[in-house]
Amino acid sequence: MLSRPVLTRLFSVLLLACAVLLSGCSKDRNDVADITADDLYEKAKSSLDAGSWDRSIALYKALQTRYPFGRYTEQSMLDLSYAFFRRGASEEALSTLDRFIRTYPTHPSVDYAFYLKGLVNYEQNLGFLEKMLPSRVRDRDQSQAQDAFLDFQELIRRFPDSRYVPDARQRMVFLRNNLAAYEVIVAEYYLRREAYIAAANRARYAVEVYPNTPSIPEALRIMHTAYGELELNDLAESSWDVLALNYPDYYYTQGKRKPRDWSAILWPFD
């Protein structure tokens, strides 16, 4: 058992450590409390540029609290949204961007706000495994992909000359292809379970809404099969004619088996 003098010295050391810690925290608070808007923004921006997302978020929040109507109000909202995005706080990023768009609809950087909204939703659609196996992105729920597509679409509609448009267009191509593939995957699911009406309707939706995407020949194949099973011979024949005319080299029109999807071997969760 420790003697009284040892306990006294130990207790004194602990008190001193707590005092130093509290002093440091108090100093940090006082530094933020006494700092000017210019210096506070510079600190927040430096933390953002350094990738210190948590610290930059704290500093931008302090800036907005202390100087809600200052010269950095608009830019700090955009920077805070980006910090939230990189931190993985998607909901906070989206809510901050929506507030910015509502509050400053004519701001020179509002096109960036739409672009960043698209990026947030785009990245939500790409989890870790999906980035490793891009072909499996289409298998998951596509609600964020649809939101991202609409965000990019709104950006292009409202700001066709924005410098973010070229990148947004490329991402929209990827999203559109995945949205079409998702519809076909669902249609195939219905087809395997002999829900032929649902399969045909889902495949037809893909053809009508996402024409000229890589999934269209497979959608036509599903329509041909489903309509045949339903004994809707005219529709089945029409689907075959469109498939054979536009995709004469497709495996189905050649009477061949469907090629093996090797990524399915690594992703046995369908």
Q: What CATH code is carried by the domain that includes residue 84?
A: 1.25.40.10
Please indicate, yes or no, if residue 74 is contained in any of the structural domains: yes
Would you call 87 exposed, middle or buried from its count of C-beta atoms within 10 A (0-12, 13-18, 19+)? middle
The closest of 213, 211, 205 to 183, measured between CA atoms, is: 205
Please indicate, yes or no, if residue 149 is contained in any of the structural domains: no
- Domain of residue 75, residue span: 33-105
Please indicate, yes or no, if residue 12 is contained in any of the structural domains: no
Please indicate, yes or no, if residue 54 is contained in any of the structural domains: yes
247 CB contacts (<8 Å, ≥6 apart)? 216, 217, 220, 253
- Dist. CA 155–CA 112, nearest whole Å: 8
Q: Check residue 200 and give its pLDDT.
A: 97
- Whether the CB-CB separation of 147 and 97 falls below 8 Å is answered with no
State the SS3 of 217-262.
HHHHHHHHHHHHHCCCHHHHHHHHHHHHHHCCCCCCCCCCCCCCCC
Residue the block writes with tokens 């929209």: 172
Please indicate, yes or no, if residue 27 is contained in any of the structural domains: no
Q: Check residue 71 and give its pLDDT.
A: 86
Please indicate, yes or no, if residue 134 is contained in any of the structural domains: no
Q: Check residue 33 and give its pLDDT.
A: 57
The closest of 87, 17, 21, 18 to 48, measured between CA atoms, is: 87
Please indicate, yes or no, if residue 44 is contained in any of the structural domains: yes
Query: How many domains, in total, are found in the chain?
Result: 1
- Dist. CA 249–CA 266, nearest whole Å: 28
- Dist. CA 243–CA 231, nearest whole Å: 19
Please indicate, yes or no, if residue 70 is contained in any of the structural domains: yes
10-residue mean pLDDT series, the chain (270 residues):
51 50 46 77 95 96 90 94 95 96 95 96 66 47 86 96 96 92 93 96 96 95 96 96 94 76 41
The two most distant CA atoms of the chain are separated, in Å, by 99
